[in-house]
Amino acid sequence: TGLITIDPGYKNTGSTTSSITYLDGENGILKYRGYKIEELAEKSTFLEVAYLLIYGELPSQNQYEKFTREITTHTLVHEDIKKILDGFPSNSHPMGVLSSLICSLTAFYPESLDPNRNEEEVNLSIVRLIAKIPTFAAWAFKNKVGHPVNYPDNSLDYCSNFLKMMFALPAERYDPDPVVAKALDQLLILHADHEQNCSTSTVRIVGSSQASIYASISAGINALWGPLHGGANQAVIEMLEAIKADGGDTKKFLDKAKDKNDPFRLMGFGHRVYKNFDPRAKIIKKAADDVLGKLGVNDPILGIAKELEEAALSDPYFVERNLYPNVDFYSGIIYRALGIPTDMFTVLFAIGRLPGWIAQWKEMRQNNEPIGRPRQIFIGETNREYVSMNKRG
Ligand code: CMC
């Protein structure tokens, strides 16, 4: 079996070669297919970036129009999915609902269970996923608030359609605010891929068993849900609200985060790979100021976040450990300003990350990677004599 080395959390283990996302943690550089994240966030749309990640090149005008047309063709979901949605209690966390609805696509499109489908068939599943995830996400929210669901409006762009499905009320006109739609689109771009993180590795490892693409993506959504990963954006706002409710003493919470006997961590701080700064956090911090300014929102929580960041960045504990704000630190503040409820933040992360998961799944498949199957070093008992129940102590 050879020599097995243990690497908890796979901190120093490369699981694959990849040509999708370049990440330089020392210098805070992030590029998708060679393009700087800063430039993509400023100049591209989310669907353009999705195309880039999945097919490897920025689309031509024709390719882009064809791709968006394909996406809008598939935004509607099977009516029976509403029955599945109705089965969830109205207080269900939308992440659980989202992963379940995505997994239910295996039942509506059972051909996805065939690992030997051709590229065209696989492509249809990819389009279906990108097209339907905003519908599922908005429906998960509607279920939570107990309102009737809205159907997609294919005359709108990707984010405006999502906003309408989220916020339109029966018999009321709803025109998505272009400032809100643009800000959302930019956030989705910033979340679109991040190489072999926890959820992406999950998607690749589930996919490596040749499970359906829908099952693999559903597994990724569940991995993203945790507070140490995508769930951090929800946890950051809950933390900032707790600081505000407690009187706004940021130092008290910094001390708690430093206390090794206290499980509390400064949410939205620290990263496995970035050890200088997270380039996404830089863009998002600036966007938070811009968006709140444009919308005329004055959120006291932004002030607390800035104070907390400043205090942490000059605190030896955080400096020595290279702990900086990550993508989740300021994103929640923008989502709040856009009117998105807190427990939908991670759902938005999932919508943004979907093209990355798909691109990584596709790469894993194209590389013909073997099934993901780590080894272990066994440290338990190896030789015990069976004791019948009446003789056990
Ligand atoms: N607050 C306080 N201490 C921290 C924090 C934090 N947020 N993050 C790391 N540390 C300490 C940790 O206790 C350890 O200290 P020591 O060396 O004394 O034991 C040291 O820094 C190294 O931390 P680690 O846990 O070994 O680092 P990791 O690479 O395993 O974890 C992380 C990375 C992101 C899980 C972690 O920094 C963390 O829990 N951050 C808070 C949650 C968060 O914001 N997650 C979002 C990550 S970015 C986007 C995403 O993935 O979704």
Q: What distance in angstroms lies between residue 27's CA and the mean position of ligand 1's atoms?
A: 19
For the stretch 176-221, pLDDT in tens is 999 999 999 999 999 999 999 999 999 999 999 999 999 999 999 9
**For residue 3, which amino acid is it?**
L
Average pLDDT, the chain: 95
Amino acid in the structure at residue 292: L
Q: How much is the pLDDT for 107?
A: 98
Please identify, by atom number, the ligand 1 atom nearest to the C-alpha of residue 229.
52
Average pLDDT over residues 136-158: 96
pLDDT of residue 171: 87
Bridge partner residues of 325 (DSSP): 269
Residues 6+ apart with CB under 8 A from 368: none
Give the residue-averaged pLDDT of 254-282.
Answer: 94
Q: Whose CA is nearest to atom 21 of ligand 1?
A: 321
In angstroms, rounded to a whole number, what is the distance separating the alpha carbons of residues 35 and 7?
A: 31
Kindly give the distance from the C-alpha atom of residue 239 to the centroid of ligand 1, in angstroms, as a whole number.
Answer: 15
User: Once rounded to an integer, what is the mean pLDDT over residues 81-97?
Assistant: 96
pTM of the model: 0.95
Q: Is the CB of 242 under 6 A from ligand 1?
A: no
CA–CA separation, 207 and 70 (whole Å):
24
| The two structure tokens encoding residue 2 | 């050879």
Cα(340)–Cα(334) distance, rounded to whole angstroms? Answer: 9
The Cα–Cα gap between 80 and 22 comes to 41
**Per-residue confidence at 1, pLDDT binned at 50, 70, 90?**
low
Helix-helix angle 46-55:158-167, to 10 degrees: 120
Annotated catalytic residue, options 157, 185, 278, 328: 328
Q: What does the pLDDT read at residue 393?
A: 87
For residue 68, the CA-to-ligand 1 centroid distance in Å is: 38
| Mean pLDDT along residues 352-364 | 98
Helix (H) or strand (E) holding 57: none
Q: Would you say the CB of residue 328 lies under 6 angstroms from ligand 1?
A: yes
Q: What is the pLDDT of residues 317-331, one digit of tens each?
A: 999 999 999 999 999
Please give the single-letter amino acid code of residue 379.
I
Q: Edge-to-edge, what's the strand order for the sheet holding 35-36?
A: 21-24, 29-32, 35-36
205 HSE (CA, 13 A, CB side): 14
Give the pLDDT score at 2: 72
Displacement of CA 226 from its chain's centroid (Å): 10
- Give the residue, by CA position, lying nearest to ligand 1 atom 27: 272
CA 352/CA 158 separation, integer angstroms: 12
- Provide the token pair at 166: 């989220």
Spatial separation of the C-alpha atoms in residues 23 and 224, rounded to whole Å: 19
Phi, psi of 263 (to 5 degrees): -70, -10
- DSSP assignment of 276-316: S--HHHHHHHHHHHHHHHHHT---HHHHHHHHHHHHHHTSH
- Which pLDDT score, from 0 to 100, does residue 193 have? 98
Indicate if the pLDDT at residue 150 is higher than 60: yes
| Number of residues that this document lists for the chain | 393
In the Cβ-directed half-sphere of 160, how many Cα atoms lie within 13 Å? 14
In angstroms, the CA 361 to CA 99 distance is 17
C-beta 229 within 6 A of ligand 1? yes
d(CA 64, CA 66): 5
- Would you say the CB of residue 321 lies under 6 angstroms from ligand 1? yes
Q: What is the ipTM metric for this complex?
A: 0.97
DSSP conformation class of 371: P
pLDDT digits (tens, 9 = 90+) for 100-135: 999 999 999 999 999 999 999 999 999 999 999 999
Instruction: Express as a percent the part of the chain with pLDDT over 70.
Output: 100
